Amino acid sequence: MRIDIITVLPELLDSPFQHSIMKRAANKGLLEIHFHNPRDFGIGKNKQIDDYQYGGGAGMVMMIQPLAECIEQLKKERTYDEIIFLTPDGTTYNQSIANQLSLHENLILICGHYKGIDERVRIHYVTKEISIGDYVLSGGELAAAILVDSIGRLLPGVLNDETSALFDSFQDNLLAPPVYTRPSEYKGWKVPDVLLSGNDKKIDDWRYDQALKRTKKRRPDLLD
Ligand code: 6GU
C-alpha cells in the first residue's frame, strides 16, 4: 500500500512511522509513505497557503489552489482509491473503517490546519471525511498518524502470528481479555489458575468469557 500525506507540518509525522510495527511494514516494502507540502504550491513569493475567510470571522482558511495543485500532481501519477480529509466533522473512525481502508492500494490523506480548508477542495477532490473522535485537534497530522498505524498493522505480512490482528480488541466487536506474564505470583497477587492449567479448551473459554464480561461492563454499545 502507498499512502500520500498532504501536510504543512511533515516534521510532526517524522517519528511515528519510524518505529516498531510501522518500521517493519516499511522495511518489508508493504507500506510506503510519502509527504507532500502544499507550501511548495503556495502563492507568490511568500508561498502563501491560507487567507481570511469570505464573509468575515476569525481564523485563516487553507486556500484551494495550493491543495488542488498538490492533489492533481499526485493524481497524474496514479489512481487513488480514496482521498481522505481528516476533520472533526467527518465520520467517526473505527476498526471497521480501518479494515476497509487496509484493502486499498493508494490513499491520499489531507491534513487541515487553521480554521479548515476551502470547501471546494472537499466538494471536488475529497472522497471520504474522517474524524478520530469528538474533540478538537489543532491539525489533522496526529489523526493521520492514527489512521496510518491502524491501517498499516492490518496489511498482510506486517504482523506475525503472535501479534495477529485477528485477536485485537474490536476485531470481533469484543474488547480483549486480560493478559498475564511471569511471575505467576507477585506480592501474593496470583495469575488465574486456568491460564496455568495447560488446558487449551478451558483457556479459550475463559478468555472468551472474560472478553464478553469486560465488553458488557465497559462497552455495552459494542454488543448491540
Ligand atoms: Cl481528523 N482533525 C482535527 N483537526 N481534529 C480532530 C480530528 C481530526 N478528529 C477529531 N478531532
Cell digits of residue 71? 492533489
pLDDT in tens, the chain (224 residues): 999 999 999 999 989 999 888 899 999 999 999 999 999 999 999 999 999 999 999 999 999 999 999 999 999 999 999 999 999 999 999 999 999 999 999 999 999 987 899 999 999 999 999 999 999 999 999 999 999 999 999 999 998 876 677 778 887 889 999 999 999 999 999 999 999 999 999 999 999 999 999 999 999 999 98
CB 158 within 8 A of CB 28: yes
Pocket test for ligand 1, best of 84, 110, 137 (most atoms within 8 A of CB): 137
**Residues in a beta bridge with 83:** 108
What's residue 162's pLDDT? 65
Pocket test for ligand 1, best of 5, 87, 117 (most atoms within 8 A of CB): 87
What's residue 172's pLDDT? 83
Binding site membership of 9 for ligand 1 (Cβ less than 6 Å): no
* Domain architecture of the chain: domains with CATH: 2-152 (3.40.1280.10), 169-223 (1.10.1270.20)
Residue 139, classified by CB atoms within 10 Å of its CB into exposed (0-12), middle (13-18) or buried (19+), is middle
The pTM for the full model equals 0.95
Q: Is 214 helix (H, G, I), strand (E, B) or coil?
A: helix
